[in-house]
Chains A and B, each alone.
Chain A
Amino acid sequence: MGTRIIVMAISLLILGGAGYASWYGIGAVSSDTGVGSVRTGSGGGVGVARVRVK
């Protein structure tokens, strides 16, 4: 019974963590956005933009 409770607790933690991270979009924000981001020029070629985030 003890093992079951441990397995249940760990799996609920995983589910809760995954649900939280998914709902709040952890890791989804584009790396070239943020307060004070500034375009620093084109790196050449299609779609390659250099951006500095302050």
Chain B
Amino acid sequence: MTGTISAINCTNCGAGLEVLGGGRVVTQVCGYCGARLDATDAYAVLSVHAGLKRPETPFKLGMTGQIDGVTFTIIGILGLQEAWDGGVAHWVDHILYSPTHGYAWLTLEDGHILLTRKIRDWPDGSFVTDRDVARAETRPSRFWRGETYVYYATTNWKVDFVEGEFTWRPEVGHRGTSISLMPEGRFSDHMIAYAHSEEREIETTRYFPEAAAAFGVELPRPSKVHALQPYEPAPGKRFYASWFGVLTVISVLLAIIVMEGGGREVLFQGTPDQLPPSLTIPIAVVDRPVGLQFYQDLSQAWAEYEMTIVDPTGQVLAETGRAISYYSGGSGDDAWSEGSRYESLVFQPTVSGDYRLDVALAEASPRAQPAPLRLTLQEGQGASIWTWGAAALFGMATLWTLSSSWRHRMLRWNGSDWVEEDD
């Protein structure tokens, strides 16, 4: 009479252990005492891993779930880690078994769930090894099922926890290498991996968040974007992009209106010696500043002007000076210039009426005295820097919103350890 064993007692500690994993299981590790038992030899003790630290995972041995319409059972749990100069990464592999569909792996990594299966139809080309990667000048690539996969990363893993049933003989400290390649396409959610430990296998891994619902567990919230994580637009992306885009346009228009708004009037045009001793400025609007702009067509020269502004009531609003200087030299890439042919003075009018402006050339270099001078008045002088600032802010918000897909892709490839060699 033949039958199927559904449970055993640990031959080391006597704890009851379920047998879930099918005929290919060769090792069972007791979750109570850490004993590795030989499933092919009456569960004889191979070794004992005492005091193992259980990794954090909501999945447990014996849980069942539907994957692509097939019921799988979790039969083994492996804790893995990879250490490098910058720290240690941990993840958990859950071995799945279906009597009709064999074995698969469910990986929990930073709250992301991945489903991995071996592939029988290997990609064209040789098995990719870490030596191949080290020697390659460009990312190694392979063609499989109509897609080109390019090198993503090399993982040198080590087992730090074992529990349950396995089709090989895992133990703590067991090491291996996995070289992953990912399609170049923007929204690929799977990769292939060349796994090399006691034997060589090629696996395909896909992003599988549906596992949480399939097995009835709650997953921790991921802290980073995973390489296989598909892009999902944030709620309201189109609304925010449109909203900030419209505000950007409005801000630019407002800035242009402020810059160009207000009447401009030429008060004087001529050489400095033709300046009248006094100019009259009629001002009607008093709630916005008034700008005076000086322009003198100087070259290798300087000039300093003194001016006084008096309001209609006789109050002095300005008794000050402005200097204009412009020097230049060199040619081509060595060309340089210093100073500006423009100067300005902005004051706040007090009452409407005729203002008096006294302007006189105080000092100047000889070449400045015959140079043409133009004095322009702008009533309603604004400060467009504020609206340009708002336009920049809203523009950045628009670009940030619109670039979310691109940024997601960058984050996915951020985990790649490929470094382009400098020429």
Interchain residue pairs with CB less than 8 A apart (14): A3-B236, A4-B239, A15-B394, A18-B389, A22-B384, A23-B382, A24-B287, A27-B383, A28-B289, A28-B291, A29-B348, A32-B320, A34-B318, A37-B317
What chain A residues lie within 8 Å of B247 (beta carbons)? Answer: 11, 15
What interface size band does chain A fall in?
20 to 34
In the complex, chain A residues whose CB is within 8 Å of the CB of B324: 47
Residue B375 lies at the interface, judged by CB distance under 8 Å to chain A: no
User: Lowest 8 CB-CB distances: which A-B pairs, in order?
Assistant: A47-B323, A18-B390, A33-B347, A28-B383, A25-B289, A21-B386, A33-B318, A18-B386
Is chain B's interface secondary structure helix, strand, loop, or mixed overall? mixed
In whole angstroms, how far apart are the Cα atoms of A26 and B291 in the complex? 13
Would A38 and B316 count as touching, CB distance under 8 A?
yes
Interface residues of B in 386-402 (CB under 8 A from A): 386-387, 389-390, 393-394, 397
- Tally inter-chain residue pairs, CB-CB below 8 A: 127
Q: Give residues in B with beta carbon < 8 Å to A.
A: 236, 239-240, 243-244, 247, 250-251, 254-255, 258, 287-289, 291, 302, 304, 306, 309, 315-325, 343-348, 350, 381-387, 389-390, 393-394, 397
Chain B proximity of A42: nearest CB distance (Å): 8
Q: By the criterion CB–CB under 8 Å, are B318 and A37 in contact?
A: yes
Q: Is A28's CB under 8 angstroms from B315's CB?
A: no
The listed residue (B258, B319, B343) touching A22 by CB distance below 8 A is B258
Chain B residue, CB-CB nearest to A19: B254
Q: A22-B386, A26-B383, A33-B309 are in contact. Are A11 and B321 (CB under 8 A)?
A: no
In residues 1-54 of chain A, which contact B (Cβ within 8 Å)? 3-4, 7-8, 11, 14-15, 17-19, 21-30, 32-39, 42, 46-49, 51
**Pairwise interchain contact B243-A27, C-beta atoms closer than 8 A:** no
- Cα distance A20–B250 in the bound complex, in angstroms: 14
A39's nearest neighbour on chain B, judged by CB, is: B319
Given A38-B319, A51-B319: A22 and B243 within 8 A (CB)? no
Shortest beta-carbon distance, B46 to chain A, in Å? 57
If A3-B236, A47-B321 are given as contacts, then 11 extra A-B residue pairs at C-beta distance below 8 Å, sorted by A number, are A14-B390, A18-B387, A24-B287, A28-B346, A29-B346, A30-B347, A33-B318, A33-B346, A37-B320, A47-B304, A47-B322
Q: Which of A14, A15, A19, A39 contacts B320 (CB 8 A)?
A: A39
Question: Hey, which chain A residues are within 8 Å of B254, CB to CB?
Answer: 15, 18-19, 22
